[in-house]
Amino acid sequence: MLRWLLLVALLTPLAAQDYELAAEAGVECAGATGGLLVAPPYTPVRVTIRRHDTRAFSGRLVVNLVNYHGRSPFGDDNESIELVEEVSLADGDIEADVVFDMPVGTSLLNGFISLERQAQGGVWETLSSVQFSAGVRNSARSVVGFISNARLSAAQPWLFYDMVEIAPGRLPESWKSLACFDAIVLNSDQLNERQSRAIMDYVAAGGTLVISPNAAAALNADKPAGKLLGIPATGNTVQKLLKDFPALMAAPVRSGISRAGAESVPGGMTPPGGSGPGVPEPSQPVPVPVPPEGTGPSLVRPEADSSITLWPESGRARPVFGKQGLLSSARVGAGNLIFVHADLSRAPFAAGAELRPTLPGVNLLNDAISCVSQRAQGLPTRALTPRDVLNTVDIAGRRIPGRDFLVVLLLIYVLAAGFGMFLLAKRVRRPELYPAALLVLAVLSVAGVFGVGELYKRSGDRVKAVRLLVCDETTDRNAVVTVGCAYAVDGGDYVFSTGKQTQLMPAELDKSVKSGMPTDYMNCRMVSSASETETTVRELDRWQNVFFLGREPTAIEGVRAKVHAMEGTWQVENLASQAAYGCLVLIGGNPAPGSPAGSPTITRCAWHFVPSLGPSGGSDARATLGPSTSLAAAPSPLATLLGDATADHEQGRAGLLALLELEGRRAKMPNGVLAADAEGKLATMGLLPGDGEFLLIAVLPEDTVSKGSLGPRGVDAEDITQGVLWMVLGAIESR
């Protein structure tokens, strides 16, 4: 018997060695920028499983992500996130890759990965494990991903943002991992279906996409340009001469940046040939000296008579003013899309065997990015995290009395009990019963107070949320941004079950939000299957709030609106099947009505207020905007107008007033001042309309967005209260 036990003991470690893990964190970059890019809010972590055992396998990968914010691994502040992914290997498979969308903090990504399988008795045994670590990019400059066979990163000395090249085959297949880019330039038709879907989800969720078709196949109906813009792949091309576009030959200003992320320490860029998978130390960037002005590489200047091939059609995109038909723009959900009518990887925009950028190529690329540079920095999540908005979803703070209230209540109780005992003593006239009566009254009073308090704290909402539905004027691609609060009545663990494409992070939300990700997350465990993610917040106290921040690209059909320009006025039309309440319509690039031509104005947009717009197809679905709807001429404060129009939608009204900061003393400020302040906030959200654009802000019925998509497990829909705010940013149509 002892011999068999020794044999099992010797063979067990050998069985464990049948499985090996390797981990690689970051987006793999190509060309001169080669390395791995790690930046908030998510980064892909690729785990490679290698084995000698060829039998079918079913188990899980467990990632323990610690030091999420780069804090010390020692002490009480060492919080963690645990991610779990189901894994299956078919009979005969000896290698498999599993990619995690890993939440990224502020300075260091560090964790342990284990491969586990379930043994007898339901116990999970570890077969292999590996540690990984990576520095997080901390540069203040924007980072732009370039997907092409061209080597346009050679233009970095003339770009005021970090350009990183990504080979088409290495592009992540999840929008979350693409969200680390401030913009993505797509110059390839080699994306697979998952990559194309990830790109489209990325832009719908608030990203910026620049499309430069390299072939007619890039306009196919299953590619981003075809689906998002509706440009036919059979479209013809036209020939122009470079001299027809003198701005493309202007000398660019050198940025003084020789390599993406070169000044960042740590920069979140693993250099080519740097530390490999599973190495615990974060990689450091390799600075490259900037050549003095007039030395080093220069840009090729093509002949002025060089021919340019252009795609003349732009689908639903509108020409960008002053760009001579080279650029068109459109909104997609909460994001921005720029269509470049030329191929950036073809002459005269690129030259040589490596297709390096020329002078016109650098200028055209800079023009495309600059069209949306300010808007690309904004995210709708920034509007939902200030304290005023959080107060509208707070449950425990309104359900449990504060300390001052309890002191006042105690004084009232002492006075009432003392007077009651005096009356009881005077009526009974039996002094020997006074202590017993006092004790009984005290017990009954305490039991009554605690009983009523228990019932009160258990009554009412279990979840409250403010949800921002951001749409464009044409497509059914949109984004839902959520800030909410779940009420953990009994404490312990609290579970959310959401779609795998949903970004949901429980957090305290007392600190800043970076790239849409809270920096003060709560300990949680995320278990992912093929279609959903189960997020468990652990070790909660009774009556505790669980705040959470979410973002998701969606496809809610029909939630659109249009604005038509007419002679001297505009007409807004609701195309949604739901009525809209408390409608604010901003017309971009127009001074406030009544302002003399050329005079300075408080606001950059013309603001109009319409109490409501009926469902699509009804006579009240349209409204004409003019002097009677102008906010500048409104007889009442903006807070009063919105409050009256949205009175039947309490949570939506509260969310809208908090979003526009129309509460307290500010509610009585002049409408022009409030509108100007709101424009600044809309700019930080990337939602301020420009020339020829409009923005509609309104409250929709709460069932417009499914309550179930919030994901609280075991909570009935009637115990969930949500307000749905609607924002539509799009181009104004001409009659």
pLDDT one-digit tens code per residue, 52-73: 888 999 999 999 887 544 443 3
CB 593 within 8 A of CB 632: yes
Residue 508 clears pLDDT 80, i.e. is over it: yes
CB 638 within 8 A of CB 676: no
Contacts for 683 with CB less than 8 Å, ≥ 6 apart: 374, 378
Distance CA 159, CA 182 (A): 14
**How high is the pLDDT of residue 669?**
82
DSSP assignment of 287-346 equals --PPPPTT-S---B---TT-EEEE----TT-EEPTTSTTSEEEEEETTEEEEEESB-TTS
Contacts for 606 with CB less than 8 Å, ≥ 6 apart: 586, 587, 590, 591, 592, 593, 630
**How high is the pLDDT of residue 277?**
34
DSSP assignment of 237-304 equals -EEEEGGG-GGGGSPPPP-S--STTTT-TT-SEEPTT---TT--SPP-----PPPPTT-S---B---T
**Three-class DSSP labels, 46-84:** EEEEEECCCCCEEEEEEEEEECCCCCCCCCCCCCEEEEE
Q: What is the mean pLDDT of the chain?
A: 82
| 200 SS3 class | helix
**How high is the pLDDT of residue 206?**
92
Of 91 and 602, the structure prediction assigns the larger pLDDT to 91
Residue 533 clears pLDDT 90, i.e. is over it: yes
Q: Of the candidates 485, 497, 484, 494, which has an alpha carbon nearest to the alpha carbon of residue 536?
A: 494
Distance CA 731, CA 474 (A): 9
Which residue reads 């269509």 in tokens? 339
CB 109 within 8 A of CB 37: no
CA distance readout (Å), 612 to 421, 425, 578: 59, 64, 11
Alpha carbon 342 to chain centroid, angstroms: 30
**Residue 146, class by beta-carbon neighbours within 10 Å (0-12 exposed, 13-18 middle, 19+ buried)?**
buried
The pair of three-digit structure tokens given for residue 478, joined into one six-digit string: 């949109």
The pair of three-digit structure tokens given for residue 359, joined into one six-digit string: 């002078």
**Residue 594, class by beta-carbon neighbours within 10 Å (0-12 exposed, 13-18 middle, 19+ buried)?**
exposed
**Highest-confidence segment of 107-111, 187-191, 422-426, 437-441:** 187-191
| Of 96-105, 427-436, 714-723, minimum mean pLDDT range | 427-436
Stated pTM of the model: 0.86
pLDDT band at 281 (very low <50, low <70, confident <90, very high): very low
pLDDT digits (tens, 9 = 90+) for 158-203: 888 888 999 888 999 999 999 999 999 999 999 999 999 999 999 9
Which residue reads 């002094």 in tokens? 431
**How high is the pLDDT of residue 130?**
93
Q: Which residues pair with 310 in a beta bridge?
A: 238, 342
pLDDT band at 13 (very low <50, low <70, confident <90, very high): very low
CB atoms within 10 A of CB 253: 9
CA distance readout (Å), 24 to 83, 108, 198, 405, 678: 16, 14, 20, 54, 43
Q: Provide mean pLDDT across the span 444-473.
A: 77
Distance CA 37, CA 22 (A): 18
**How high is the pLDDT of residue 484?**
94
Contacts for 423 with CB less than 8 Å, ≥ 6 apart: none
Q: At what angle do helices 403-428 and 434-458 cross, to 10 degrees?
A: 150
**DSSP character at residue 386:** S
Distance CA 437, CA 620 (A): 68
pLDDT digits (tens, 9 = 90+) for 353-374: 888 889 999 999 999 998 887 7
What is the separation, in whole angstroms, between the first and last Cα of the chain? 92
pLDDT digits (tens, 9 = 90+) for 69-113: 444 333 344 457 889 999 999 999 999 999 999 888 767 788 899
**DSSP character at residue 12:** H
| 494 SS3 class | strand
The pair of three-digit structure tokens given for residue 79, joined into one six-digit string: 């919080």
Residue 421 clears pLDDT 50, i.e. is over it: yes
DSSP assignment of 86-135 equals EEEE-TT--EEEEEEEEE--SSEEEEEEEEEEE-GGG-EEEEEEEEEEEE
Q: Of the candidates 1, 16, 33, 12, which has an alpha carbon nearest to the alpha carbon of residue 286?
A: 33
**Highest-confidence segment of 257-261, 419-423, 554-558:** 554-558
- Give me the phi and psi of 219, to 5 degrees please: -105, 10
Q: Is the peptide bond before 266 cis (omega within 30 degrees of 0)?
A: yes
